[in-house]
């Protein structure tokens, strides 16, 4: 009952205003106050600072500087596989896109078309394909990396709500990931064709950034914004950083039909790390 009330309160909270204020504080150089908040956050959520390239909390000038911290070069060994996990986090769900629908939680599905801002043409490329939804908790490393090599084709910023994306909310709010603000990045890979990475915003997620654009939001206009990269060559290698959350959220991956075969040890609720094996190409799709 209490959990249900906690989710229902989100419908009436001024989520945009809360997020704006959180973003302003996260970017503020507040000296001892910033250090105090970071120290509290590390203790509260069990952040492993020994993995960070800069382990000294006092060296971070803003909360976002800490939150988007880089890792030591040896902190995430890369698996020798076709597709690596792009983030640290927890597997929310993964599987097949069936009849254009993506599984969110028991009793909840949403359409690929809705997730991609209403573009039926874009969604059709992933009909009967595969998806993976990865949740980043507050303690996690919040940079996002490429699961495989790819050339950027387009990016769309889709305005929306800012519900929390924690497991409880995902189990309760219908179409959560297709309602929240998000950034849709489509890539082309010579091995599988096109694939999509969706960065989903949430309450107090100050902004999302990509390596080629910088901060995408704010601004937060009421209409979607799109960028095409047909005339610009932006190629990213497997494991290369493609973006980051300034305060955390969720990444959704979409792959075309028969492009990937997820690792056998994957299951909903499993903790994962960037660089671990995520999937391989099915045997029939591997080069002879």
- The tokens describing 190, both together, are 């010579």
Selected catalytic residue, list 130, 207, 249, 263 = 249
Selected catalytic residue, list 82, 145, 157, 164 = 145
Whether residue 102 contacts residue 131, with contact meaning beta carbons closer than 8 Å, is answered with: yes
| 249 is known as an active-site residue | yes
Selected catalytic residue, list 82, 88, 119, 130 = 88
> What's the CA dihedral at 36, 41, 244, 33 to 10 degrees?
-10
- Spatial separation of the C-alpha atoms in residues 16 and 133, rounded to whole Å: 24
Q: What are the beta bridge partners of residue 262?
A: 279
| 145 is known as an active-site residue | yes
Cβ-based neighbours of 121, under 8 Å, separated by 6 or more: none
Between strands 130-135 and 207-210, the pairing is: unpaired
- Spatial separation of the C-alpha atoms in residues 195 and 245, rounded to whole Å: 20
| 56 is known as an active-site residue | no
- Spatial separation of the C-alpha atoms in residues 51 and 72, rounded to whole Å: 6
Catalytic residue numbers, as ranges? 88, 145, 249
């Amino acid at each position: 009952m209490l959990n249900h009330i906690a989710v229902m309160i989100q419908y009436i909270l001024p989520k945009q205003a809360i997020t704006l204020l959180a973003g302003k504080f996260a970017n503020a150089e507040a000296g001892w106050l910033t250090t105090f908040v970071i120290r509290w956050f590390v203790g509260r959520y069990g952040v492993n600072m020994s993995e960070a390239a800069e382990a000294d909390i006092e060296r971070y000038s803003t909360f976002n500087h800490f939150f988007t911290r880089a890792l030591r070069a040896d902190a995430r060994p890369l698996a020798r596989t076709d597709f690596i996990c792009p983030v640290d986090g927890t597997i929310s769900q993964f599987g097949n896109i069936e009849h254009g629908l993506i599984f969110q939680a028991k009793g909840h599905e949403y359409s690929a078309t809705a997730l991609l801002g209403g573009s039926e043409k874009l969604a059709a490329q992933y009909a009967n394909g595969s998806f993976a939804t990865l949740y980043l908790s507050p303690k996690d490393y919040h940079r996002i990396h490429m699961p495989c090599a790819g050339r950027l084709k387009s990016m769309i910023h889709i305005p929306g709500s800012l519900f929390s994306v924690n497991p409880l909310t995902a189990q309760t709010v219908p179409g959560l990931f297709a309602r929240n603000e998000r950034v849709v990045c489509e890539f082309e890979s010579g091995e599988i064709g096109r694939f999509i990475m969706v960065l989903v915003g949430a309450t107090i997620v100050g902004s999302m950034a990509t390596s080629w654009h910088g901060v995408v939001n704010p601004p937060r206009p009421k209409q979607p914004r799109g960028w095409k990269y047909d005339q610009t060559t932006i190629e990213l290698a497997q494991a290369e950083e493609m973006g980051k959350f300034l305060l955390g959220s969720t990444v959704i991956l979409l792959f075309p039909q028969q492009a990937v075969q997820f690792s056998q040890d994957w299951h909903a609720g499993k903790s994962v790390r960037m660089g671990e094996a995520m999937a391989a190409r099915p045997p029939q799709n591997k080069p002879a």
